[in-house]
Amino acid sequence: MAESVSADGVTVPKRQATRYPKPRRLRLSTFMSVLGTTPMIITAIGVFVICIIYSGLLSFTDARMFPSFNFVGLRQYERLWSTGRWMVSVNNIWLFGLLSIGLSMIFGFILAVFMDQRIKCEDLLRSIFLYPFAMSLVITGLAWRWILDPGIGIQAAVRAWGFENFNFAPLVNADTAIYGLVVGSIWNSIGVTMAIILAGLRGIDSEIWKASRIDGIPAWKTYFFIVLPMMKGALFTAFVLQCVGVVRVYDIVIAMTQGGPGIATQMPAVFVIEHITGRINVALGMAAAMMMLLPVVLLLALNGFVQWRGKRMKEKLS
């Protein structure tokens, strides 16, 4: 043990920091945690990272039925953006995305405000609103295909009530079929949007509501000008979730319209699957898949930037 001299000349033994070995049980627990997550890590790297890189490489080749590594540069991308079917898909995804995301966010917020009033049977209603999201998109698409079918759906029911001139068959018209898809998509996604926004509303301090009532601020102004700016995290999470769902939309399109009438409801994901499996053009399909990946990467980068900026702001305030 080392010795030190105090101010009055008395020698006092100086204690040294004692290093204790880590308990064996703790080391074993850490090892088991790493071992348990190893399959997930391997799957994530193998399925996502390696497969994305492999798909990107194929998009620069002339692969048809089978993969090949005869690189042709950007020829597939040039061909992709000169293909009429792909341009229709891009236009459709923009229209479908704007309507689906916008209406889902609006109606999801309205439902969240309704649920935030501490109504009776809240748990039951929340389960009912969330039920469509738990269903397969194929089931959702088939259900709305039957509902909008002119022979057995809404049109047939209204005509059976005596309104013989009633017409409501959006899926059989090329100009309105995309709006039928929007209806099915909103029905499927509105519940989870409501749940995320409701969680954000429940996180607002009750003192804010009391202060707004004391100041005589109307409830709708409190929601729009005070509460909404404080819910940026919840709103952004719901927005990103909706965007990712729109980019990869496939099942509901196949179930409701199969991309028709003609190519009126063609989507990028449908284009990719058709060219890889049906048209036997792997390289062009992979080029389209890379174009689909681009907005997802941009959304993830935007999400990371928002979180990083939030942390920086908290550090400055603290």
Residue-wise pLDDT for 122-151, tens only, equals: 788 888 888 888 888 888 899 999 999 988
What token pair was written down for 99?
A: 């309507």
Its domain, for residue 147, covers 83-317
Residue in this structure with the two tokens 């196949």, named with its chain if needed: 254
Predicted pLDDT of residue 19: 53
Average pLDDT over residues 210-232: 86
Predicted pLDDT of residue 9: 53
Poorest-pLDDT segment among 12-16, 156-160, 276-280, 293-297: 12-16
Residue 103 lies in a domain: yes
Across the chain, mean pLDDT equals 84
Dist CA 236 CA 231 (whole Å): 8
Tally of domains in the chain: 1
Residue 65 lies in a domain: no
In CATH, what number is assigned to the domain containing residue 184? 1.10.3720.10
Dist CA 168 CA 140 (whole Å): 19
Q: Is the confidence at residue 183, as pLDDT, over 70?
A: yes
For 6, counting Cβ atoms within 10 Å of its Cβ (0-12 exposed, 13-18 middle, 19+ buried), the class is exposed
Under 8 Å between Cβ of 62 and 72: yes
For 34-51, what is each residue's pLDDT tens digit? 777 788 778 877 777 888
Q: Is the confidence at residue 33, as pLDDT, over 80?
A: no
Amino acid at 169: A
Dist CA 237 CA 198 (whole Å): 12
Which pairs count as long-range contacts for 81-85, CB under 8 Å and 24+ apart, including other chains?
83/284, 85/263, 85/266, 85/271
Residue 35 lies in a domain: no
3-class SS at 11? strand
Residue 22 lies in a domain: no
Kindly state the helix (H) or strand (E) to which residue 4 belongs, with its residue range. strand 3-5
- Output b/e per residue, 18-41; b: 16+ Cβ within 10 A: eeeeeeeeeeeeeeeeeeeeeeee
Predicted pLDDT of residue 61: 92
Predicted pLDDT of residue 136: 84
Predicted pLDDT of residue 267: 93
Residue 39 lies in a domain: no
For 58-89, what is each residue's pLDDT tens digit? 999 988 888 788 889 899 999 999 999 999 99
Dist CA 38 CA 44 (whole Å): 10
Residue 276 lies in a domain: yes
Predicted pLDDT of residue 15: 52
Residue 265 lies in a domain: yes
For 161-173, what is each residue's pLDDT tens digit? 988 888 888 998 8
> Whose CA is closest to 88, among 244, 288, 297?
288
Dist CA 247 CA 97 (whole Å): 8
Poorest-pLDDT segment among 105-119, 251-265, 270-284, 294-308: 294-308
Residue 237 lies in a domain: yes
Those residues with Cβ within 8 angstroms of residue 293's Cβ, 6 or more apart along the chain or in another chain: 52
Share of the chain above pLDDT 70, in %: 90
